[in-house]
Amino acid sequence: MIQFRSVTKKYKNDNYALKNINLDILSGEFVFIVGASGAGKSTLMKLLYNEERPTSGTVTIGGINIANLSNDKVPNLRRCMGIVFQDYKLLQNQSVYDNVAYVIRTLGISSREINARVTGALKIVGLYEKMHATPSELSGGEQQRVGIARAIVNGPPLLIADEPTGNLDPKNSLEIMQILDQINQRGITVIVSTHDNAMVDYFRKRVITLDKGEIVRDIQAGTYE
Amino acid sequence: MNDQKLKIKKKVKKHIPKDWLCELRILYRLSMETFNDIRRTGIVNLVIITTMAAILTIFGAFFRSALSISSFAHELGNVLEISVYLKSGSDPNTVKNRIKEFEYVEGVKIIPKDVSWENLKREMNLPDVTNPLPDTLHVKVDKPENIEPVFNKIKELSSVEDMSYAQELAKRIQTLNHVVNTITVFVVIIMAILTITIINNTIQLVIQSRKDEIEIMRLMGVSNWYIRFPLIMQGAFYGFSGALIALIPLNFVQNGLVNMHQFFMVPAPVYAQNIVIIIMFAMGTLFGAGGSFLCIKKHLQV
């Protein structure tokens, strides 16, 4: 499903974020991208949702090289995947329901369909009861669950989570990871970047370790170290 | 009652193609987004709309006055005539037909020398002597600026003894028209620059205040035009609302000008007020949307 071929990302002053990355992620996989701060985890995630473009090499998703995707096609790409962020990125002045419904409303879907999809997504993350609350009335873990509901509401085949538990305590982190695991069990490919070793060790999924922009380890059912 | 409403809604929906329904929903959402954006801009809206109204009032008042001045100039031009004095023995009808063929000539009137002489005698109480006056032609030209070329052409005719026209007045009318047109173009340019700058700055503030929201929309895959469209509409709204308010002072200008036309017994230009209103609304809305569009191009990276 996802292929990285000889991908290098270089910033100014010859600062390499990623060096010659070759990587295959199959449909339906759950993958942890781990590494210390500055290892290149976030850059790799940004390449997936086209927030960054590689300096060289190709990034292919579903057979399409997104490295040279025209700017007007980027929103289409992002609508085909769900993205979860460390800082949740929720619209603070809108309710949980409206946050989740926001993107699908822009697609001209009927209210009935939107309602069905939003309530379905909120039930998956366990926030159906709090659909009228605003993000400020929710805990960090709940806000991240809203972020996950928003990411899956459009039924994407791929979910990218960039440090989803970075701002959460262990209990909430575990809940979030369990939700992501459930989503993966529905057949959605899940890629999670994290430096939370406890979670990686607990779930025993495929682990790709980055160090100074290079893949130094790629093992199935692995641990953090 | 609600059941009845639902039934009607279903019936209407049945007849709208699915693609259209989708587009209509998007349009509805975009309108709501625009409305919400304007609502969130708060009191700043009033400041912008008032400023726009002031600019459009100046433009509208100037444009409307320019139309009236043009109409005055045209009216004055209409009374301008070239007097052509013919050599004795020339046939006035032949010369008249010749002049009528010239470009810009609207009409030629023969004043026979006997008529001129009778009039002069009556006015000046002259004794009965031999008529010394020649046959005269009064030539009417379409525009004041065309008098000179027609004058020069007539001068070349062999049957013409002498000619005269109010050369100074014609030139002044021509200059006045030219000045008014130049100033109108200048005002339009100034107005465009002011409108675009004001809208540009306002939308820049809106983008700054909604930076996080726009960033989220962008990352979630909301299409570029869906993010841009409400901002462009907001710019257009300011221009349109400004024009709407400018109608009030413009009405006073219109009344004043109509009184002036009545006083000088010069007919007011037909549809002038309607033309000014249409152009004012079109320019306000277009420049408003244009200012917003330029700002988006520069400050909104989607």
- Establish if B26 touches chain A: CB-CB under 8 angstroms: yes
Question: Which of A20-29, A73-82, B62-71, B259-268 bottoms out in mean pLDDT, i.e. has the lowest?
Answer: B259-268
* B221 CA: distance to closest CA in chain A (Å): 4
Same domain (yes/no): B48, B197: yes
Q: Tell me, what's the pLDDT at B78?
A: 65
**Which of B20, B212, B220 to probe the A interface (max A CBs under 10 A)?**
B220
pLDDT in tens, B221-275: 988 888 999 999 999 999 999 999 999 999 999 999 988 888 877 777 878 889 9
Question: Which of A60-69, B33-42, B78-87, B253-262 bottoms out in mean pLDDT, i.e. has the lowest?
Answer: B78-87
CB contact under 8 A, B219 and A85: yes
Q: Collect all residues of chain A within an 8 Å Cβ-Cβ radius of residue B19.
A: none
Q: Tell me, what's the pLDDT at B68?
A: 86
Q: Tell me, what's the pLDDT at B178?
A: 83
Q: Tell me, what's the pLDDT at A55?
A: 93
Indicate the residue of B23, B216, B224 with minimum beta-carbon distance to A108.
Answer: B23
Is B6 inside any structural domain? no
DSSP B199: H
Is B7 inside any structural domain? no
* Domain boundary residue, one of B144, B165, B186: B165
Same domain (yes/no): B57, B93: no
Give residue B210's domain range.
28-75+173-299
Alpha carbon B138 to chain centroid, angstroms:
34
Helices (H), chain B: 2-14, 18-41, 44-79, 92-100, 113-124, 147-155, 167-209, 211-219, 224-264, 272-299
Confidence class for position B77, pLDDT limits 50, 70, 90 = low
- Establish if B221 touches chain A: CB-CB under 8 angstroms: yes
CB contact under 8 A, A72 and B222: no
Indicate the residue of B23, B215, B220 with minimum beta-carbon distance to A103.
Answer: B220
Spatial contact of A164 and A84, defined as CB atoms under 8 Å apart: yes
Same domain (yes/no): B265, B237: yes
Same domain (yes/no): B55, B195: yes
CB contact under 8 A, B222 and A110: no
Question: Which of A91-95, B124-128, B138-142, B262-266 bottoms out in mean pLDDT, i.e. has the lowest?
Answer: B124-128
* A92 CA: distance to closest CA in chain B (Å): 9
Asked whether the predicted pLDDT for residue A197 surpasses 80, the reply is yes
Q: Which residues contact B254 (CB under 8 A, 6 or more apart)?
A: B64, B273
DSSP A166: T
Indicate the residue of A76, A78, A80 with minimum beta-carbon distance to B219.
Answer: A78
pLDDT in tens, A145-180: 999 999 999 999 999 999 999 888 989 999 999 999
**Which of A51, A81, A103, A111 to probe the B interface (max B CBs under 10 A)?**
A103
Question: B213 versus A122: which is more confidently predicted?
Answer: A122
Same domain (yes/no): B123, B269: no
* Domain boundary residue, one of B146, B165, B184: B165
* A80 CA: distance to closest CA in chain B (Å): 8
As for how many domains chain B has, the answer is 2
* A90 CA: distance to closest CA in chain B (Å): 7
CB contact under 8 A, B219 and A89: yes
Asked whether the predicted pLDDT for residue B18 surpasses 90, the reply is no
CATH number, position B115? 3.30.70.3040
Mean pLDDT over A61-74 rounds to: 89
Same domain (yes/no): B42, B161: no
Same domain (yes/no): B86, B185: no
* B35 CA: distance to closest CA in chain A (Å): 15
pLDDT in tens, B178-201: 888 888 888 889 988 988 899 988
> Which ipTM score applies to this complex?
0.88
Q: What order of strands is seen across the sheet that includes strand A206-211?
A: A81-84, A158-162, A189-194, A30-34, A206-211, A214-219
Same domain (yes/no): B47, B177: yes
Mean pLDDT over A115-125 rounds to: 94
Please give the residue of chain B at the shortest CA–CA distance from A103: B222
pLDDT in tens, B197-219: 999 888 898 888 888 888 999 99
Same domain (yes/no): B69, B215: yes
Question: Can you tell me the distance from the alpha carbon of B215 to that of A166, in angstroms, rounded to the nearest whole number?
Answer: 20
Same domain (yes/no): B180, B52: yes
Q: Mean pLDDT in chain A?
A: 92
pLDDT in tens, B32-67: 989 988 998 888 899 999 999 999 999 999 888 888
